[in-house]
């Protein structure tokens, strides 16, 4: 069986067992899992290969692109501003960003964007990678966009627009882009390796993604789903090694706050633990009342495209979804990423959890779910 490194408290030994079994039973390459309980790290495990070309081993410090797990840190930032009475999630976005109100968006609230209900899953404007990297062209395109449906009446996953739209609200309030706000207010003070916009100095820590066999291709380029996840083709998905694929350092360097975070398992688990319990006796980032607001269901069921994968959404966060991603209960909230990454927190159980890997098996595959099941069992 695959040898892994790290440790687990005796009470959480079952998590280590499942982590080892994942390497035996899935085409795992490299992976890590970290669990906090009561603000204290109780599991930190890693193993396998970070770069299949060089054989570089996965280490305690290895980071990996975590795709839409980025939405979790961005949402925590938004809820933190709401808790500080700097952002009203139910006020029109235009209160903070007046130019947003154009073309029928005058009543769209930040909560509608967080709940994927704003009618802005994709943009009509076709932007280049360089324009996306520059930030402002995306913001101008959002301002010019007409909603695909009457805002608030249905939902569909807001992919990349989620991060730019919520991120611009954060920028209008704080003067900082979301990646800078995350770094300054949360990640650096707490020593958490979670980045939206990776510094060049940390590139050597990044694992190289690889595709598992048999992943389903996206529909054609005109399909809304494809436009959502590729920003109309400017971002290659799931392509990894093409220019601007997900192994490209140029992509890691830009702020892509809907799906472009790079993090370690410990960074993501620590962020959720900081949110729900505080770390090592420190004050929690989000109050119980703020979490209650975040975990109130906003969207579920069949969306605009008619799909119902069983996901339940709160304000910017995936909720306990027994048919899609079973978590610990009604206070659990997190976000998953393409290829199998997942992270969440729960203030009832006092848990922060993250699993990351560089073998992209599938959206919502069983590796993280098995680990969460083990955590649930360890908690009794």
Q: Read off the pLDDT of residues 311-356 as tens digits, 9 standing for 90 and up.
A: 999 999 999 999 999 999 999 999 999 989 999 999 999 999 999 9
Question: Where is 34: in which H helix or E strand?
Answer: strand 30-37
pLDDT at 215: 73
pLDDT at 214: 74
What residue ranges in 309-348 does DSSP mark as E strands? 312-313, 318-319, 332-336, 342-346
Span 198-226, average pLDDT:
90
Q: Give the closest residue to 347 by CA, choosing from 50, 124, 36.
A: 36
Distance CA 252, CA 265 (A): 17
Q: Check if the beta carbon of residue 284 is closer than 8 Å to that of residue 276.
A: yes
pLDDT at 238: 67
Token pair listed for 89: 């999630």
If DSSP codes are grouped into helix, strand and coil, which group holds residue 253? Answer: helix
For the chain, state the CA radius of gyration: 19
Token pair listed for 98: 């007046």
Distance CA 338, CA 341 (A): 7
Residue 369 CB coordination number (10 Å)? 17
Q: Identify the band that residue 301 occupies on the pLDDT scale cut at 50, 70 and 90.
A: very high
Chain-centre distance of CA 126, in angstroms?
24
What lies within 8 Å, CB to CB, of 240 at 6+ separation is: 209, 210, 211, 246, 247
Q: Indicate the length of the chain as a whole number.
A: 380
Q: Identify the band that residue 2 occupies on the pLDDT scale cut at 50, 70 and 90.
A: low
CA angle, corner 231, sides to 227 and 233, nearest 5?
A: 75
Distance CA 281, CA 287 (A): 15
Residue 186 is classified by DSSP as I
pLDDT at 220: 87
Query: What are φ and ψ of residue 51, in 5° steps?
Result: -140, 110
pLDDT digits (tens, 9 = 90+) for 167-206: 999 999 999 999 999 999 999 999 999 999 999 999 999 9
Span 287-302, average pLDDT:
97
Distance CA 338, CA 71 (A): 12
Distance CA 80, CA 16 (A): 33
Token pair listed for 287: 């109050």
Q: Identify the band that residue 364 occupies on the pLDDT scale cut at 50, 70 and 90.
A: low
Distance CA 229, CA 165 (A): 15
Q: Identify the band that residue 79 occupies on the pLDDT scale cut at 50, 70 and 90.
A: very high
Q: Is it the case that residue 112 has pLDDT exceeding 70? A: yes
């Amino acid at each position: 069986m695959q040898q892994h490194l790290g440790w687990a408290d005796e009470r959480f030994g079952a998590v280590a067992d499942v982590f080892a079994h994942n390497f035996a039973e899935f085409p795992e390459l490299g992976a890590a899992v970290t669990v906090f309980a009561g603000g204290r790290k109780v599991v930190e495990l890693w193993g396998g290969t970070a770069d299949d070309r060089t054989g570089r081993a996965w280490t305690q410090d290895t980071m990996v692109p975590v795709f839409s797990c980025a939405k979790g840190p961005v949402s925590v930032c938004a809820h933190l501003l709401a808790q500080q009475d700097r952002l009203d999630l139910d006020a029109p976005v235009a209160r903070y960003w007046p130019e947003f109100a154009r073309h029928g968006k005058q009543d769209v609230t930040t909560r509608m964007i967080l709940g994927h209900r704003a009618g802005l899953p994709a943009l009509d404007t076709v932007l280049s990678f360089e324009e996306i990297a520059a930030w402002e062209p995306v913001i101008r395109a959002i301002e010019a966009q007409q909603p695909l449906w009457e805002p608030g009446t249905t939902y569909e996953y807001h992919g990349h627009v989620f991060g730019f739209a919520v991120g611009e609200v954060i920028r209008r309030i704080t003067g900082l882009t979301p990646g800078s706000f995350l770094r300054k207010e949360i990640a650096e003070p707490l020593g958490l390796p979670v980045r939206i916009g990776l510094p060049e100095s940390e590139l050597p820590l990044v694992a190289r993604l690889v595709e598992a066999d048999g992943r389903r291709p996206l529909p054609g380029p005109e399909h809304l789903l494809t436009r959502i996840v590729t920003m109309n083709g400017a971002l290659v998905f799931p392509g990894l090694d093409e220019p601007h694929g997900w192994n490209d350092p140029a992509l890691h360097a830009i702020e892509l706050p809907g799906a472009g975070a790079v993090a370690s398992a410990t960074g993501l688990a620590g962020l959720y633990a900081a949110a729900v319990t505080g770390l090592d006796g420190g004050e929690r980032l989000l109050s119980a009342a703020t979490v209650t607001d975040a975990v109130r269901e906003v969207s579920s069921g069949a969306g605009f495209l008619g799909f119902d994968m069983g996901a339940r959404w709160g304000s910017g966060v995936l909720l306990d979804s027994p048919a899609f991603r079973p978590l610990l209960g009604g206070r659990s909230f997190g976000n998953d990423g393409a290829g199998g990454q997942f992270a969440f927190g729960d203030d009832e159980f006092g848990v922060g959890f993250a699993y990351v890997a560089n073998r992209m098996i599938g959206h919502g595959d069983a590796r993280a779910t098995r680990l969460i099941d083990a955590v649930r069992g360890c908690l009794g």
